[in-house]
């Protein structure tokens, strides 16, 4: 007891020992908490990075889907257009076949009628209102004019075709002659005269076989003249009035080019 009284600091030693022991026990707990917090923060950061990466991937996928949908729409439209063209071509083919058969029958009938006329009365012309030039039968004049055209003698061809129309205005080939007059000037690059005679075909022979071709060439001619609107108007008119003609098929191709 005397020793304790003389050394009061000895009582503080156990207390200090207990405090140090408690501090030693709490230190691992704090370190573990910090480690867990750092690990959690790292996981959160990793998750955020994954979320960002997934968002970018999702955006890329959405862009790809939009592009794919656009391609599908385009292919669908092309398929529909192809089906329509195939349907139209089928009608055109059927129409052309019937047309050729009718034309063949017509040629045989005309040839027979012409032959009979020559036998019964060689001096009589089979075309009412025609004023044939002496010693130049209409078909001979027509074929000579076409030979000039085929030989690229377009000025002479135009003059001869016009002479044919003047002499034989009611001949079945009169609308053809007027049309080839326009073609002659078109070949010469005189597009204004070409347009004039193509219009003459339509106005003078509205039921003639060359009306679809004349409308088509008017589209070509006005395109050459730089009048795109007039060119499109004539081509649309052709497709509206003669949808199953061969000229209408060419008109569609020309319209695709103009647009």
Q: What is the band of 55 on the pLDDT scale with cuts at 50, 70, 90?
A: confident
Query: What is the rounded CA–CA span in Å between residue 190 and residue 175?
Result: 20
- Residue that the structure tokens 């009589």 belong to: 124
Q: Which distant-in-sequence residues (6+ apart) come within 8 Å of 248 by Cβ?
A: 92, 212, 238, 239, 242
Query: What is the rounded CA–CA span in Å between residue 20 and residue 49?
Result: 44
Flag whether the pTM goes above 0.85. no
pLDDT, tens only, 113-148: 333 333 233 333 333 334 444 568 999 999 999 999
- Residue that the structure tokens 């997934």 belong to: 54
Q: Which distant-in-sequence residues (6+ apart) come within 8 Å of 53 by Cβ?
A: none
- The domains of the chain, with CATH numbers, are 138-258 (1.25.40.10)
Rounded to the nearest angstrom, the gap between the alpha carbon of residue 184 and the centroid of all alpha carbons in its chain is 30
201-216 residues labelled b (16+ CB within 10 A) or e (exposed)? bbeebeebbbbbbbbb
pLDDT, tens only, 174-221: 999 999 999 999 999 999 999 999 999 999 999 999 999 999 999 999
């Amino acid at each position: 007891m005397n020793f304790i009284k003389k050394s009061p600091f000895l009582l503080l030693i156990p207390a200090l020992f207990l405090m140090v022991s408690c501090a030693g026990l709490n230190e691992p707990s704090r370190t573990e908490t910090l480690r867990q917090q750092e690990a959690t923060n790292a996981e959160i950061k990793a998750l955020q990075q994954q979320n960002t990466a997934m968002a970018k991937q999702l955006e890329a996928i959405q862009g790809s889907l939009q592009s794919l949908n656009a391609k599908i729409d385009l292919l669908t439209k092309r398929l529909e257009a192809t089906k329509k063209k195939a349907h139209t071509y089928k009608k055109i083919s059927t129409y052309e076949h019937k047309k050729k058969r009718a034309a063949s029958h017509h040629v045989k009938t005309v040839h027979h009628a012409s032959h009979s006329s020559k036998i019964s009365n060689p001096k009589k012309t089979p075309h009412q209102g025609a004023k044939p030039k002496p010693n130049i039968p209409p078909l001979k004049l027509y074929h000579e004019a076409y030979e000039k055209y085929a030989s690229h003698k377009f000025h002479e061809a135009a003059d001869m075709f016009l002479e044919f129309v003047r002499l034989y205005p009611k001949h079945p080939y009169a609308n053809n002659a007027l049309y080839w007059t326009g073609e002659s000037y078109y070949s010469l690059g005189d597009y204004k005269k070409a347009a004039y005679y193509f219009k003459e075909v339509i106005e003078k022979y509205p039921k003639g076989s060359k009306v679809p071709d004349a409308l088509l060439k008017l589209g070509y001619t006005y395109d050459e003249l730089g009048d795109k609107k007039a060119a499109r108007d004539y081509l649309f008119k052709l497709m509206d009035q003669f949808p199953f003609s061969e000229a209408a098929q060419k008109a569609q191709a020309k319209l695709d080019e103009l647009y």
